[in-house]
Amino acid sequence: MKNRSLIFFLILAGILLIGSCKEDFLTVKPAGSLDENILADDPGIEAMLIGCYACLDGQGGPGGWGSATSNWVYGSIRGMEANKGSDAGDQPFINPIQTFSETSTNDYLNVKWRTVYDAITRCNKTIIIINKALEKGTISQSDADLWTQQARVLRGWYHFDAWRMWGGKIPYVDENTDPYTVTNTADVRAQIIADLTEGTKLPLNMGAIGRFNKTVSQILLAKAEMEMNKDYAKALVLLNDAKNTGKKPNGADIGLAPTYGEIFDIANRNGIECIYTVQYSVNDNSGGTNGGNGEVLNFPYNGNAPGTCCGFFNPTQDFVNSFRTNAQGLPYLDNYNSYPVLNDQGCPTENNWDAGTTYSKKDVVIVTDPSEAPNRQVKAYVSLTEGNIGHPPLTSPTYWAVQWQEDPDPLDPRLDWSVGRRGIPYWDWGIHTGMNWIRDQTYSGPYSPKKQVYKKSQTGTYTEVGSWTSGYTANGYRMIRYADLLLLLAECEIEAGSLENARALINQVRTRASNPDGFVKDGNVPAANYVVSPYPLTGAPFDTKENARKALYMERKLELGQEGHRWFDLNRWGITVAELSKVLAYEKSMPWGDKLYQGAALGPEDVSFPIPQRQIDLSEGNIVQNR
C-alpha cells in the first residue's frame, strides 16, 4: 500500500509539473498599466497634458532644427523670405528644400514628421488616461471636459501642421486608431476641424499664459477653415468674435502693440500683441534645450555679435526690396524689385579696399553717387582722397577710400526690425558692421536675421549661461499675433467683397508701423529714410478684389516676414508657383544667387513636401507617397 501510494503521488506531481510549464502558466495578466494606476488622477493628467504642450516648441520627442515650431525652414526659407545662410556645407538637408529639389529621404522632413506624430501620440495617451480616470471616479466630468478639450485642440493643431506640410496626404491618428494599419489615403479634414472645434469650448481665461484658450482655438480653427476648406464665411465669424471678445490665455487683453519693434523684445514676449506665444525658458537645468533650441542657428556669425553662431537664416534681397515705399509711403505691389534697396555686398567691414590689390568691375562697383550705380546694386560708395580728381582707373585704387552709405530713398521702418543690414542699429549691439557679421557673404548675401535676437543687455538673463552658444534664449515664438488676426480677418472680408472693411483693418496695421519707434542713430537722426502711410480712403488698391488681394498679400509679407508664414500663405492663396518663380529668377541674378539656387526651378509638386520614405517603410506600405 505504501509503495502504491508513493507511485500515485509521484504520478500526480508529474502531471501538475507538466501542466504548470505550459505557456499560459507563464503569462500573468497585469492588474493595470502604469498609466492607469499612477497617472489616472488630477496630478497625473496635468503632467501628461503639459507634455502635450511641451511639443509646441518642436523639440519634444526627436526634435531638432528641422522641426522648430517657427517653421523657419519650411515657411520662410521655402517661401524665399530668407535663404539658408551659413555656408554651402553646413546643414546640407536645407539646401534642396530651398532649391525645391528635396527627396523623400531628406532627414529634416523625417524629423518633422516624427516630431508632429510624437506630439499627437502624447495627446492620444492623455485622452485615454482622462477616460480611465473618469471611469474610476478619480476626476469630475467638468475637469475631464476641460482636459479633453485641450488635448483635442492640440491634436488638431499638430495634424493641421502636418496637413500643410504634406498636402493633406497624412494619416489621422486618434486614441482609437491602430497605428499598424492606419493609412494616409482618406480625407482627414473633418477630423482635424472637429478637434480644433473642441478648443472653442474652452474658457477665455485659462489662468496660465501657455495654455490654449477659446480665442487661440478660434483663430487656429479659422486658419484651418481658410486653408483646408476655403470657408472664408465661417472663418469670418470666428475671427470677428476673437477680435471683439478675445483674451490672452491668462485673461489679459489683446491688441496692437504701440510700436512694431517692441513686439520682438524678449521682455515683451507675452505682451498685448502676442495672443499666443510658445513659451521658451533658459537656465532651468535643461542645458538650453527649452530655450529656442530649434532656432539656435539663426544668429550672426562672429564672436562680437549676438549669439556668436551660426550665420543661418539670412534674408533675401527680394524680401528686403519689398519694404521700398514711394513718396506717399505706400508699397510697390507689382514691381518692388525695380526699386532695390542698396546693399554692401563685397564691401569690407573696415570701409577700406586693399590698396595693393587689383580690382576689376566684376569684383567691385565703385560710385560716388547712387544714380551711377548699375541696377542700384552697389558694393560701395567711394570718396576721393589724396587730392585725386575724377575717377582714377579701377585697376589702380591706391587713393580710393571706401565709405559705405545707407540707401537714401523711402523705406518701411519694419525692414530694420526684421533684417540686420549694414549701417543700421542692431538692437543695443551697436551698428551692424556688415561683412564680418556674415558667415560667408559670397554664399548667402549681406543680411542677418533679427526678430528672434536678444539685446546685449539681456545676456545671461534671457540667454543660457555656460552653453556653447548664447543663442539659447527665452524669446518664445509668437505663434499668433494680433496683427495676424487683423490680416486674416481682412483676407476674409476681401473674399466676402467687403473691400472697405479690409482696407480699414490693413490700415490699422500700417498706421501702427508708422508710429515713432525710437529707431535712430547719431542722436535723434532716423536710421534711414522711413516713410510709411495707410492706404487712402478711396481708390486703388481697394477698388477691385484682385487689387485688394495684392495689398493683403504684401502686407502679410511686410508685417509677418521671417516668422514662418510665407510659404503656407502662398499655398493658401494658390499662387506659390507663380510668385516664387518670379522671386527665384530675381534671387538668381544676385551676386550670390548662383551658389544658393543653382538649378532651382518650381513646379506644381512644390506646394507640398514628399512623405518621408522612412515612414512609408515603417508602415509596410500602408502609408503611400503623396507625389
Residue 326 exposure: Cα atoms within 13 Å on the Cβ side? 11
In SS3 terms, 153-173 reads as HHHHHHHHHHHHHCCCCCCCC
Alpha-carbon distance 512 to 530, whole Å?
13
Instruction: Give mean pLDDT, residues 613-618.
Output: 96
Query: Is the previous residue joined to 541 through a cis bond, with omega within 30 degrees of 0?
Result: yes
Does 489 have pLDDT greater than 50?
yes
| Burial tier of 37 (Cβ tally within 10 Å: 0-12, 13-18, 19+) | middle
Burial 326-355 (b: 16+ CB within 10 A, else e): eeebbbbbeebbeebbbbbbbbbeebebee
> Which pLDDT does position 400 carry in this prediction?
41
Of 504, 580, 527, 325, the closest CA to residue 417 belongs to 527
Instruction: Give mean pLDDT, residues 124-132.
Output: 96
Alpha-carbon distance 280 to 298, whole Å?
16
In SS3 terms, 248-287 reads as CCCCCCCCCCCCCHHHHCHHHCCCCCEEEEECCCCCCCCC
> Which pLDDT does position 404 carry in this prediction?
62
User: Which cell numbers in the block locate residue 76?
Assistant: 520662410
* Cα 402 to the center of its chain, rounded Å: 38
Alpha-carbon distance 347 to 401, whole Å?
11
* Cα 520 to the center of its chain, rounded Å: 28
Interacting residues of 32 by C-beta distance below 8 A, sequence separation 6+:
none
Q: Tell me the pLDDT tens digit for each residue of 15-27.
A: 334 444 444 433 4
Q: Tell me the pLDDT tens digit for each residue of 345-366.
A: 877 676 544 444 444 333 444 4
Alpha-carbon distance 541 to 526, whole Å?
29
Which residues on neighbouring strands pair with residue 312, listed in sequence order?
85
Residue 449 exposure: Cα atoms within 13 Å on the Cβ side? 36
> Which pLDDT does position 287 carry in this prediction?
86
Alpha-carbon distance 173 to 183, whole Å?
10
Please tell me the least confidently modeled range out of 59-63, 211-215, 272-276, 402-406: 402-406
User: Which cell numbers in the block locate residue 574?
Assistant: 494658390
Report which of residues 155 and 395 the model is more confident about.
Answer: 155
> Which pLDDT does position 445 carry in this prediction?
94
Report which of residues 516 and 317 the model is more confident about.
Answer: 317
Q: Delineate the domains of the chain, giving CATH numbers in brackets.
A: 33-199+604-627 (1.25.40.890)
**Percent of the chain with pLDDT strictly greater than 90:** 73
The per-residue pLDDT of the chain, averaged, comes to 87
> Which pLDDT does position 95 carry in this prediction?
96
Query: Is the previous residue joined to 310 through a cis bond, with omega within 30 degrees of 0?
Result: yes
Instruction: Give mean pLDDT, residues 333-355.
Output: 77
Does 34 have pLDDT greater than 70?
no
Q: Do 428 and 457 touch, CB atoms closer than 8 A?
A: yes
Distances (CA, A) of 34 to 21, 31, 127, 177: 28, 10, 15, 21
pTM score of the predicted model:
0.88
Alpha-carbon distance 451 to 224, whole Å?
26
